[in-house]
Structure 1
Amino acid sequence: MSTIFRITSLLVGFGLMASAETPAEQHVAAAQHVIRTKPKSSQAYNDLAAALTRRTRETGHVRFLGQAETAVQQAIQLQPGNYDSQKIRIAILLARHQYTQALEAAKDLNHRVPDDIPVWGLLADANIALGNYADAEKDAQWMQDLRPANGPAFIEAARLREVYGDLEGALDFLAEGMRRTSENEVEEQAYLLTRSAHLQLLAGNTKSAGEMLAQALKLFPDYHLALWNLAQLRTSESNYAEAAALLKRRNEAVQSSASLYDLAQALERSGDKAEAEAAFEKFETRASAETAKPFNANRELIFYYADRR
């Protein structure tokens, strides 16, 4: 059975229904309610921090990371040395692309509790980001050994298969991860579909990629990761006007320097020189002010200057 058919069948079973509130928004609201009734609950602040970190991936807005940091600091103040708080802090470091710090912190937690599967996942994420692929393989294998056939382990394994160029293997692992994802976790489903579409696009399977991205956007409308990948698909088809329109939608939602750079490039390809130049100028101003921040567009800024020198 093909990967696209397996994933589509799973989504038909889920009903493809998107709720008014996203999963992370629901968790944020629930945690805030507990905090109002139990303001001394460190766990409630942990729950809030975790939900805000997830909200970052849902929206692409890094401002939620600042709110998550505030919440986890409150949890630590209420219960110093709290283990769950430390895990959430590592997740925030990863979201901020502070991979070396995240790896060292995850190693410390792993020494404290060697059988915690999520910590092995944090180690794998950090090691993959840093190019430590052999270590990441060991991390993913520990996840499987501790709990065979668990969803997060399949997702980590998929990332490694992609690194090694085994696109079909990565797609199979993502399908297994989807199979183990709750029907209520619509953003996670959309994320896995988007990851799968990215792999299909790399393999030249544009039809399958388009179908997966359409499903992702039906599950999670205006999902910024799906919009970006769909724009890449349209660019590969030389449909530059639609690619620019998709990236406009994404930039309206995300409003990051990197998103603005992608939009400027798309506008330039579509032939809208004036709007492209305005977007590039806005990007340069914004990205130049963020160079020292952990979450920046320095890579895009280098490309921008290289293209114009």
Structure 2
Amino acid sequence: MPPSDTTAEPRIARTGRRRHLRSALITLGLGAVLFTVGALGLTPSPPLPAAEDTSTPVRRADDPAAKGSVEALSARLRRLPQDHVGWATLGMAYVQQARTTADPATYARGESALRKSLKLQPADNFQAETGMGALAAARHDFPRALAWATKATTTNPSNAAAHGVLADAYTQLGRYEDSYKAVQRMTDLRPDAASLARASYTWELRGDTRRAQELMTRSLGAASTETDRGFARAHLALMALETGDPVTALREANTGLRAAPHDSALLEARARTHAALGKPRQAVDDYNTAIAITPLPQYLLGLGELHQSLGRTEQAETQYGLLRAQDRLRTASGAAADVDVILFEADHGDPGTAVTLCRRAVRARSFIAVHDACAWALHRAGRDRQALVHADQALALGTRSAPFHYHRAKIHYALGDLNATRKDLGQAMAIDPRFHPLQATEARTMLRRIDGTR
């Protein structure tokens, strides 16, 4: 698909703990909100809506000047209980907090505050409508996120944060051209760290890594909080790592961690970088630290597969056991499986179950990473002709992803197409020759085998 002229660079430029799960509750929440897009990452949450009552200014939840921000907002609302903007701001603060703690109870508190705002001001309440959209997106209910964001942008077309939620929902639902337009509108309204990060992501999706890196660097320069700076550093590190430049990745991660040593995303980025540089001890230490802070499934899977690549079967199974425990609670909650769950089940569980999970997931969310997970699950289940359809959809935007190309290469190989296999393997190795602790080795072996038959 050729790039749309929306989110084009010239227009943007002018608009100048321990390794166990901490509680069953947190595990259940992770099951409900598991999310990763593999090499592509997740765009940051929209900024908090500004308070209209200027008698007592409300700061962003991640503003270091707002000591105990949720507590400060709550104290303010005890004095001004009828302030619907204050309740909306508190709700968004909880959503921001929950995205870093993975505690579902915090999402529930956020929803309670947002609904209180809507009760006080049922109509023309774009702050709460934006918050409800962000909450739905954080829970990965993207149709609901789209509905709330559409309502918010109708209520106030100049609300940049609502256009950000709209863009996120469109992206995850596979409506990419609509998402590019929403990002451009957000950037036109407010060219800040959040909008520039989303603009970067639109180009990353389309395979233009240089433009994506430039825009994420601009997002870093525009960032006014440690949270925004940490996000930008982590994403710059991953973009460097996933284009075969672990030295730059390590520099970005270390710079970010000096300012935010407990940022789990930066720790995971550095763990993956250490693994790529052949430093498994440092990688394991960083993974363990990240998991102690926030036991996200991609961290558990990353650490498990690193242990497996090192022949540490028992340690790998410990991480896989935690993932299985998470998934049992996800199943009990009725939540749909996400990408990491599907890939884990395909590689370390039952491929047939992975296919069942992926079919439900792709119906709810036609995002490229879900198509890739479906392709891999179907391949592992021996359904390669069906798998190829999803593998092609995963790469339809031109995304530069070594894992996506590796997965399609394996599918082509199973179908007997050696020329297509070699092309995809070559692209995977050209993008990032150390893309996975287990699969990169297999990719090199396959290339040698194919070349030896020519």
What's the TM-score once normalised by structure 2's chain length?
0.58
Partner AA of 1:92 in structure 2: L
Return the alpha-carbon distance in structure 2 between the equivalents of residues 133 and 286 of structure 1: 31
Q: Residues 179 and 138 (structure 1 numbering): CA distance in 2 closer, same or farther, change over 3 Å? A: same
What residue is the counterpart of 2:83 in the other structure? 41
Partner AA of 2:273 in structure 1: L
What residue is the counterpart of 2:126 in the other structure? 83
What residue is the counterpart of 2:174 in the other structure? 131
Return the alpha-carbon distance in structure 2 between the equivalents of residues 80 and 111 of structure 1: 14
Cα-to-partner distance string for 1:255-294 (whole Å, 9 max, x where unaligned) = 3444433332233234332232233223212212213658
More contact order relative to length (CA 8 Å, sep ≥ 6): 2
Return the alpha-carbon distance in structure 2 between the equivalents of residues 120 and 301 of structure 1: 30
Return the alpha-carbon distance in structure 2 between the equivalents of residues 200 and 217 of structure 1: 16
Query: What is the aligned counterpart of 2:244 among 204, 209, 219?
Result: 204
Which moved further from structure 2: 217-226 or 231-240?
231-240
Return the alpha-carbon distance in structure 2 between the equivalents of residues 288 and 51 of structure 1: 30
Structure having the higher helix fraction is 1
CA apart distance, 1:226:
0.8
CA apart distance, 1:165:
1.1
Cα-to-partner distance string for 1:159-186 (whole Å, 9 max, x where unaligned) = 011111111111111122222222xx11
Query: What is the aligned counterpart of 1:282 among 302, 322, 337?
Result: 322
CA contact (8 A) 2:180 2:202 kept: yes
Which moved further from structure 2: 30-39 or 159-168?
30-39
What residue is the counterpart of 2:155 in the other structure? 112
CA apart distance, 1:227:
1.2
CA contact (8 A) 2:234 2:266 kept: yes
Query: What is the aligned counterpart of 1:54 among 96, 121, 138?
Result: 96
Q: Residues 40 and 110 (structure 1 numbering): CA distance in 2 closer, same or farther, change over 3 Å? A: closer
Query: What is the aligned counterpart of 2:107 among 61, 65, 78?
Result: 65
What residue is the counterpart of 1:225 in the other structure? 265
CA apart distance, 1:131:
2.5
Q: Residues 120 and 299 (structure 1 numbering): CA distance in 2 closer, same or farther, change over 3 Å? A: closer
Partner AA of 1:266 in structure 2: L
- After superposition, the CA RMSD in angstroms is 2.4
CA apart distance, 1:296:
6.4
Return the alpha-carbon distance in structure 1 between the equivalents of residues 322 and 167 of structure 2: 36
Query: What is the aligned counterpart of 1:300 among 340, 344, 348?
Result: 340
Return the alpha-carbon distance in structure 2 between the equivalents of residues 207 and 83 of structure 1: 44
CA contact (8 A) 1:120 1:139 kept: yes
CA contact (8 A) 2:126 2:156 kept: no
* Other structure's SS at 1:23 match: coil
CA contact (8 A) 1:190 1:216 kept: yes
* Structure possessing the higher radius of gyration over alpha carbons: 2
CA contact (8 A) 2:114 2:132 kept: yes
* Other structure's SS at 1:97 match: coil
* Other structure's SS at 2:68 match: helix
Partner AA of 1:52 in structure 2: Y
Partner AA of 1:141 in structure 2: Q
Which moved further from structure 2: 168-177 or 107-116?
107-116
CA apart distance, 1:85:
0.9
What residue is the counterpart of 1:193 in the other structure? 233
Cα-to-partner distance string for 1:173-205 (whole Å, 9 max, x where unaligned) = 1122222222xx111111111111111112222
Return the alpha-carbon distance in structure 1 between the equivalents of residues 279 and 236 of structure 2: 22
What residue is the counterpart of 1:8 in the other structure? none
CA contact (8 A) 1:42 1:75 kept: yes
Return the alpha-carbon distance in structure 2 between the equivalents of residues 259 and 58 of structure 1: 14
Partner AA of 2:266 in structure 1: A
Q: Residues 54 and 295 (structure 1 numbering): CA distance in 2 closer, same or farther, change over 3 Å? A: farther
Q: Kindly tell me the number of residue pairs found equivalent between the two proteins.
A: 286
What residue is the counterpart of 1:168 in the other structure? 210
Aligned runs of 1:238-257 on 2, under 5 Å? 238-257=278-297
CA contact (8 A) 2:237 2:252 kept: yes
CA apart distance, 1:87:
0.8
Aligned runs of 1:136-155 on 2, under 5 Å? 136-147=179-190, 149-155=191-197
CA apart distance, 1:297:
5.4
Q: Residues 162 and 221 (structure 1 numbering): CA distance in 2 closer, same or farther, change over 3 Å? A: same
What residue is the counterpart of 2:138 in the other structure? 95
Which moved further from structure 2: 47-56 or 24-33?
24-33
CA apart distance, 1:58:
3.3
CA apart distance, 1:295:
6.6
Unaligned runs of 5+ in 2: 1-60, 351-454
CA contact (8 A) 2:284 2:303 kept: yes
What residue is the counterpart of 1:28 in the other structure? 70
